[in-house]
Chain A
Amino acid sequence: MTRTAKFRVWRGDASDGALKDYNIEVNEGEVVLDVIHRLQATQTPDLAVRWNCKAGKCGSCSAEINGRPRLMCMTRMNTFTDEETITVTPLRAFPVIRDLVTNVSFNYKKALEIPAFAGPAHLKPGEYRMEQIDVERSQEFRKCIECFLCQDTCHVIRDHEENKEAFAGPRFFIRLAELDMHPLDTLDRKRAAQEDHGLGMCNITKCCTEVCPEHIKITDNAIIPMKERVVDVKYDPVRWLGSKIRRREGL
């Protein structure tokens, strides 16, 4: 069942660009990335697109399809009508390099700002013991394939370039939550989340959860619990006093 589909693809670079129309063959069982590949092979050999695994496991082929942040390899063509024009544009929250490829280095910069896992010094390799039930919470967040669709859709980043300095974004809130809930991590992630990574700027509209291809419950399982814990450590007067007393003892 071959048909011709109408595609509208953004072509251009950092300086200039526009949507271009293409008529392109589509076969039964294909996804948007297959059609983009056929465009490359038959009409636009220099079309820039990122992709790797084509199985929804690496998070490379992120784009906006009819305005929605999606993985191209996980968007089936049979979810559109035959008449529909399919518009494919680069992620809007990040600067364009060329065509569908954007500069996502913002995310790698943020990754560098979050202190790595710090295990207990007294345990040697092979001595770690953790219960399955305790690792499962963090394991959910480690399913993240770093497609950065959550970062792209988050309006704190998408609509306010100036926030990028202070705001790490949902991908890194789940990283912080993962470390905070890791049974053997020894650092204070709660205070850091609030003071260094802008957790407070998130107003839980859940857009990130909606676009996550791994179905990670970013808002409910990471951001909200982290916000609650921050309230506990930062604003509970008894805890506040406790922390002051402990510090004195350390002197």
Chain B
Amino acid sequence: MTEIERHSFDVVVIGAGGAGLRAAVEARAAGLRTAIICKSLFGKAHTVMAEGGIAAAMGNVNSKDNWQVHFRDTMRGGKFLNNFRMAELHAKEAPDRVWELETWGALFDRTKEGKISQRNFGGHEYPRLAHVGDRTGLELIRTMQQAIVSLQQKDAVEFGDAEARIKVFAETTITEIIKDGDRAAGAFGYIRETGNLILFEAPAIVIAAGGIGKSFKVTSNSWEGTGDGHALALKAGGKLVDMEFVQFHPTGMVWPPSVRGILVTESVRGDGGVLRNSEGRRFMFDYIPEVFKEKYAQSEEEGDRWYADPDNNRRPPELLPRDEVARAINSEVKAGRGSPHGGVFLDVSTRLAPDVIKKKLPSMWHQFKELADVDITTQAMEVGPTCHYVMGGILVDPDTGAASGVPGLFAAGESAGGMHGSNRLGGNSLSDLLVFGRRAGAGAVAYFQSLSGNTPKVSDASITKASDHALAPLRNPGGENPYTIQADLQQVTNDLVGIIRTKSELEESLSKLKGFRARLANITCPGGSAFNSGWHLALDLENMLLVSDCIAHAALIREESRGGHTREDFPKMSAEWRKFNLVSHFTNGEVAVEKLALPEMRDELLNLFDIEELGKYMTPEELTRHSKGANA
């Protein structure tokens, strides 16, 4: 057997993005010995890509903002499928999480009074996003990284060892959660640099491993977004909720290939960018849904006037919600009116002068000039929907982050589900990471303390099993290349489980996905185990397949369209379907999905909404709990 490094900790945090690092701070603050496991180098997590900001109702720019307004916006954004308790905790605690970042050295942009500035963003009623230009994610990850370092500096003084109570394992990937009976007992994986296997024995494990974008062909996610956290929990007996809800951002780059999937920020359209098809037509005018007819311009002239005079004109349809725009682009491409590389054209050059573009969209101008050699002051960008975020994730207890079904396992961030319902608002992701990262860390601490020494054990048999599994692709001669399998898998999800779904295509996807299991069992990775990218991909593929399977299963069952789930054969939202979440399990090697009743909002939260608004989402019986409903 290959050499196995063994470590023992009180708490192990899998993932070093915003959620993982915030969880680790909490565990270390309670005096527990904490390990942080990063798939990449420390400080490179995908959190770094967030641009817009952190949503928190601090009321710095508009004093009318408060947690109740933020809560309402979040529930509306998620089309009322959100776990209400998570949305409530998030709205209440986000301001404290932003303010504490300042005490760790974060430097947000300021208001004239010297407070943290806040900006407008889609779906937020008031200016709410704390930001640093358009690199807020970088500020967050660097601040958290430096907060960890400052704790290590304190430990160096106190114990003579910076890593006495908090240690970072960079470029280490976890392949399996090991259990003792029902309880989590440890995490098993490998170190990229050496290829050595590594075992962490720990009674409390926090999964904060990010998203699943790499299951799709076009994504804004990096190579790391392979659904590791989702799959680890599922394989350990945990459950995934809301997996059918995947957010496709309408404007990702499709060309050139060097930037495929990378986001073109919403403000390009907000500042005057128009969408055209190959015939030069501003096609969004053909896709204004009936419910929005009154709110959007009916002619190009009116839409153009809106930019200068928003009070007397209606906004152009390029600014419809993300899901509407994404669907429209998809339809144009399917109808053969797409751009040469399978997208549509997004153009700011026809409406704005070059110097105005450079002033209003400096980072976009630079991004395309430097990465793609595209000058957006004179050329159109080719854009199309890109897989951006998964609303679904590990089913957790809202207050503690405890994963359902596996004592000792906790989850936070994009790996956890429920908070965003069927659709996430921009800016609610960074705040989600901090609020629930902290809560999962605290949950892990409380759980650890409750054990009072009754710690689970990792058996030798389970280590051997995990190690054989991890090494299989290196030992198997004459099999398939993992890169080919990845490309094929991404094509299947792209074609059959993408932005518009139908029964027949989803059924086809499930049978095709089944076919990948045999191929995965027969992968070959030439070369040794030291920093072997092919081997790493081979192990990630298992997670990507499992996650794709959950998405396809849940998408087939949910017979309605809501947020990040669109069924061509069931185009309407259904109040009956709102009463249920879909929950994925993994039993005897098969994914199974079942309905779970959505927790009912407490009355005082329900009464934050007008009954007329709730009527669009809920059944008449549910509305009787509303103060006005009861009187009626």
Contacts and interface: CB of A to CB of B under 8 A. Distances in A.
Given A52-B46, A55-B262, A46 B525 contact: yes
Interface stretch (A131-139, A156-164, A228-236, A237-245): A131-139
A58 B487 CA distance: 24
Contacts of B482: 45
Interface string A99-142: 10101100010011001110100000110111110010011001
A142 B139 CA distance: 7
Given A139-B132, A143-B135, A46 B46 contact: no
A107 to B, nearest CB: 9
A31 interface: yes
A135 B222 contact: no
A27 B48 contact: no
Interface in B248-296: 255-259, 262
A117 to B, nearest CB: 3
Given A29-B257, A129-B115, A131-B114, 10 more contacts: A41-B483, A46-B535, A51-B223, A53-B49, A57-B49, A60-B40, A112-B162, A116-B104, A116-B149, A117-B104
A130 B110 contact: yes
B502 interface: no
Contacts of A33: 258
B102 interface: yes
Contacts of B113: 129
B44 A59 contact: yes
A50 B115 contact: no
Interface in A45-104: 45-60, 73-74, 76, 78, 97-99, 101, 103-104
A99 B192 CA distance: 13
A42 B482 CA distance: 11
A99 B531 CA distance: 9
Given A57-B49, A58-B48, A132-B110, A104 B138 contact: no
Contacts of A48: 530-533
Contacts of B162: 112
A99 B193 CA distance: 11
Interface in B77-125: 95-96, 99-100, 102-105, 107-110, 113-115, 117
Interface residues on B, range: 35 or more
Contacts of B114: 129-131
Given A112-B153, A142-B132, A73 B46 contact: no
B31 interface: no
Interface centre among A34, A55, A130, A182 (most CB of B within 10 A): A55
A145 interface: yes
Interface residues on A, range: 35 or more
A20 B595 CA distance: 56
Question: Which 10 pairs across A and B sit closest by C-beta, in order of nearness?
Answer: A29-B256, A46-B527, A117-B105, A116-B150, A45-B534, A129-B114, A125-B99, A48-B531, A41-B483, A126-B99
Nearest to A35: B258
B386 interface: no
A28 interface: yes
A89 to B, nearest CB: 16
Contacts of A125: 96, 99-100, 102-103
B526 A46 contact: yes
A27 B373 CA distance: 14
- Chain A binding surface, main DSSP class: loop
Given A48-B531, A112-B162, A132-B110, A74 B371 contact: yes
Contacts, number: 177
B41 interface: yes
Contacts of B149: 111-112, 116
A195 interface: no
Interface string B35-46: 000001111101
A46 B258 contact: no
Contacts of A46: 525-528, 532-535
A246 to B, nearest CB: 25
A210 interface: no
Interface string B45-61: 01011000000001000
B107 A138 contact: yes
A211 to B, nearest CB: 14
A104 B43 CA distance: 13
Contacts of A139: 107, 132-133
A31 B48 contact: no
13 contacts: A46-B535, A53-B46, A98-B531, A101-B531, A112-B149, A116-B105, A116-B149, A125-B99, A126-B58, A128-B103, A130-B114, A139-B107, A142-B139
Contacts of B333: none
A76 B110 contact: no
Contacts of A27: 257
B467 interface: no
Contacts of B530: 13, 48, 97-98
Nearest to A34: B258
B196 interface: no
A59 B48 CA distance: 10
B285 to A, nearest CB: 30
A139 B105 CA distance: 11
Contacts of B95: 126
B293 to A, nearest CB: 37
Contacts of B156: 112
B370 A52 contact: no
Nearest to B163: A112
A40 interface: yes
Nearest to A126: B99
B533 to A, nearest CB: 6
B146 interface: yes
A143 B534 CA distance: 32
B404 interface: no
A45 B262 contact: no
B142 interface: yes
A73 B132 contact: no
Nearest to A78: B373
Contacts of A185: 105
B24 to A, nearest CB: 15
B259 A47 contact: no
A56 B370 contact: yes
Nearest to A53: B222
Interface centre among B58, B113, B114, B535 (most CB of A within 10 A): B114
Interface in A10-35: 13, 27-31, 33-34
Contact of B258 (A30, A108, A112): A30
A31 B258 contact: yes
Interface in A132-183: 132, 135, 138-139, 142-146, 179, 182
Contacts of A78: 373
B494 interface: no
Interface in B230-262: 255-259, 262
Given A34-B257, A142-B107, A45 B99 contact: no
A117 B535 CA distance: 40
B425 interface: no
Nearest to B139: A142
Interface centre among B132, B259, B367, B533 (most CB of A within 10 A): B533
Contacts of A115: 153
Interface centre among B133, B257, B258 (most CB of A within 10 A): B258
Interface string B398-416: 0000000000000000000
B481 A30 contact: no
A196 B220 CA distance: 41
B152 interface: yes
Contacts of B262: 54-55
A33 B202 CA distance: 38
